[in-house]
């Protein structure tokens, strides 16, 4: 079984076929980025109340770090 668990997110083959989701939810992380393309963090949090602001911000911070690392390389 393939499992990845970082504090704010998890990936488990038993949950949505291994899609990366917010921990303790069935909300795909991709949904956050989809919302940010057309709306706001606040709307995402209102529409997905099982995701905490802290979880969403943690994912955004990790994405920012990954982007900075990629640009610096």
Q: What is the pLDDT of residues 5-23, one digit of tens each?
A: 468 898 889 889 889 999 9
Percent of the chain with pLDDT over 90: 66
What is the average pLDDT across 19-40? 96
Extract long-range pairs of 32-40: CB within 8 Å, 24+ residues apart.
32/56, 32/59, 32/60, 33/63
How many domains in the chain? 1
User: At 10, which CATH number?
Assistant: 1.10.10.10
Examine the pLDDT at 51 and tell me if it is beyond 80.
yes
DSSP 24: T
Greater model confidence, 2 or 18:
18
> 63: domain range?
3-72
């Amino acid at each position: 079984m393939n499992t990845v668990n970082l504090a704010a997110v998890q990936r488990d083959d038993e949950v949505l076929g291994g899609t990366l989701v917010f921990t303790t939810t069935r909300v795909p992380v991709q949904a956050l980025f989809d919302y940010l393309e057309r709306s706001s963090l606040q709307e995402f949090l209102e529409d997905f109340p099982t995701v905490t602001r802290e979880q969403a911000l943690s994912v955004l911070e990790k994405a920012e770090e990954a982007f900075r690392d990629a640009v610096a390389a």
